[in-house]
Every structure is written in C-alpha cells, then in structure tokens.
Amino acid sequence: MDKRPGGLNKYKLVFLGEQAVGKTSIITRFMYDTFDFNYQAIIGIDFLSKTMYLEDRSVRLQLWDTAGQERFRSLIPSYIRDSSAAVVVFDVTNRASFMNTAKWVEDVRTERGKEVVIILVGNKTDMADRRQVSTEEGEAKAKEFGVMFIETSAKAGYNVKALFRQLASALPGQDGSAEATQGASAAENIVITPTPSQPAKKAAAGACAC
C-alpha cells in the first residue's frame, strides 16, 4: 500500500494466471462493465486504475494485468514484489490452468511472504457444459493454499463486483496494518466510479482471454 497523506491510499493488485484464463476480461468487466469477444494476448504488463468508495474510506486500486505466456515469466516477480494483493485466475474449463495455480501462488509467497492478500478465482462459469474443475475442488485448493476463493464469469458479469468486494474488505486499513482481515464485511456497500477513459489497447495476437 502507498500511503498518501490527505489523499487516497493506493493498493497494487496484480493479476496472475495462465494465458487465456480471462484476467483481462475480468479487469475490463470491472472497469467498464463490458466484454470484448476479440481480446488479444497481453504483451508483458498492462496497467489500469480505479477509485472505490467504501463506507469508511476511499481507495485507489492499481490493476496490473500480466501476460500468461511462459516467455514473460521473468518479468512478473518484479511486479509482485510491492503488491498489496494477488488475484490468481484459472479457467474452470481448463484443468491444466487450475493445476498451475500452485506455481503462481508460490511465486507470490516467494516475493511477498504473508504480507499480501491472495484470492483464487475460477473464471468462465458460463461455460458449464465444458467445466473440468468443480466448485468444491476450487474451494479445497484455496483452503490448501490458505487463500480466499470465488468463481466468476467475466462474459456474463457474474461475481466480478463480488470479487473486488472481497479484495477490498481484505486489504489493510488506513492505519497501514499489514494484517489482511480476510473475512471482513467492510466493503458490502461499495459505490464504484469508473475512470473516464477507454479500455487500453492490447498488442499482438494470441489466444482469446475471454
């Protein structure tokens, strides 16, 4: 967290996961409440920010969208290093992406130890007929990691706001405490004000991230 006297506290949220699990789609749904069927793969790192107004404070969320391709893995630890939260995303229709969440959580723990909030996100629940990972398996894996868990559909808009509510409630308070209260309910009434800008353009082609 970046504490700014007299201003908003800024929290860095880094999105991690394999290519095409829907990291960019989740961010875009949260930022603009839209879904793009023609996403192209992120090249390196992309960045967006948004202010959230909670009952007891306002915070600025800095959303760092990372590339899932193996050739960009060497870049990611430096972005994890000063993060307040890590969002580890997998595709419920792709079991390999689920199994690989272990390495992403390990990367976060290596760089940040326990001084970071982690949430495991199972995306693409709208594709129920192609599901390879059950909700129960996701919950069990999150319990094994000692992290929060939620399922989403960026395409349908399902649970995306709830994801950020969970994160907001778990982030350290304005007193700068390093302990994240993961079960808190301080963010139940969040009013979200979008940044008046357009979604960032994605460079180079790749698998759909929807």
Strand 45-53 relative to strand 191-193, pairing: antiparallel
Which tokens in the block code for residue 185? 């309910």
Question: Looking at the domain assignment, is residue 200 inside a domain?
Answer: no
CA distances, 5 to each of 2, 100, 197 (Å): 10, 40, 26
Question: Looking at the domain assignment, is residue 208 inside a domain?
Answer: no
Regarding pTM above 0.85, the answer is: no
Q: Give the range of the structural domain holding residue 179, as residue numbers without chain letter.
A: 9-193
Question: Looking at the domain assignment, is residue 201 inside a domain?
Answer: no
Q: How many domains does the chain have?
A: 1
Question: pLDDT of the chain along its 210 residues, tens only?
Answer: 665 545 688 999 999 999 999 999 999 999 999 998 876 655 556 789 999 887 777 889 999 998 756 666 778 898 899 999 999 999 999 999 999 999 999 999 999 998 999 999 999 999 999 999 999 999 999 999 999 999 999 999 999 999 998 898 899 864 433 333 333 333 333 333 343 333 443 433 344 444
Question: Looking at the domain assignment, is residue 47 inside a domain?
Answer: yes
Q: What's the CATH code of the domain at 187?
A: 3.40.50.300
